[in-house]
Amino acid sequence: MSAHLSAAEGCRDDVTAFLRELVAIPSPSGEEEAVARRVVSQMKELDYADASIDAMGNVIGRVGDGATKIVLDAHMDTVGIGNAAAWPHDPFAGKLEDGVVFGRGASDNKGAVAAMVYAGRAMAERDLDGADVTVYVVGTVMEESSDGLALGYVLTESLEGIDGVVLGECTNLAVYRGHRGRMEMRATAKGLSAHASAPERGDNAISALAPLVAEIDDLHERLVADAFLGKGS
């Protein structure tokens, strides 16, 4: 392990410089092309076996050619900057101060993109420690607006037979081994307007949805806690 940590420490300056470049490229969800091209060019410069952009705009770099297939994923898009005046530094300057890179996406999630790109190079230099593994370093698009949609596309359309995925999401450097998942739904109730003097002629859409809201509240109490993942909400 110490050898691996030493190798990681040895490329700290390169990773930091690359991260600052990525931060300097605005990439709100749906506008990731420029940053994707920069990531691909870096992969090629680091002698990845293959590096390309898929039909959806995701970057896929490959290291190794083994039987077990692992994906390292981090998303390239960011949310907006909001009030620019509220930033202590230019959000696209990638300012380095006291060992910290400041800017939009520096943490979420371009820091992980930069780290994983160089991790791929480090693994290739060690010949994957002899493991029978293929590692795909993936930079996904539109995570901020569509969550895991792009990664799902990579796993089902761009690649096949993936055995495991490591996400580069922000966790304060803790290792998280699972996710409870989520569900989204859309409920529509159609009402009928009526004059206040004759409300019985109408149909109140808000009242129609009230039982659903109450049921969702009750569902929260009925959700079963998982021994490992804990209780959902």
Q: Which residues are catalytic?
A: 77, 143
Calculate the alpha carbon distances from 89 to 16, 29, 107 in Å.
Answer: 17, 22, 15
Calculate the alpha carbon distances from 1 to 4, 79, 119, 185, 202 in Å.
Answer: 5, 36, 14, 45, 71
Contact (CB, 8 A) for 162 and 70: yes
Calculate the alpha carbon distances from 130 to 17, 66, 70, 125, 154 in Å.
Answer: 30, 10, 15, 11, 26
3-state class of 61 per DSSP?
strand
Q: Which helix (H) or strand (E) holds 113?
A: helix 110-125
Could you give the angle at which helices 2-10 and 12-23 cross, rounded to 10 degrees?
50
Residue 228 has a CB neighbour count (10 Å cut-off) of 8
Tokens 């990773």 belong to 15
Q: Which helix (H) or strand (E) holds 185?
A: none
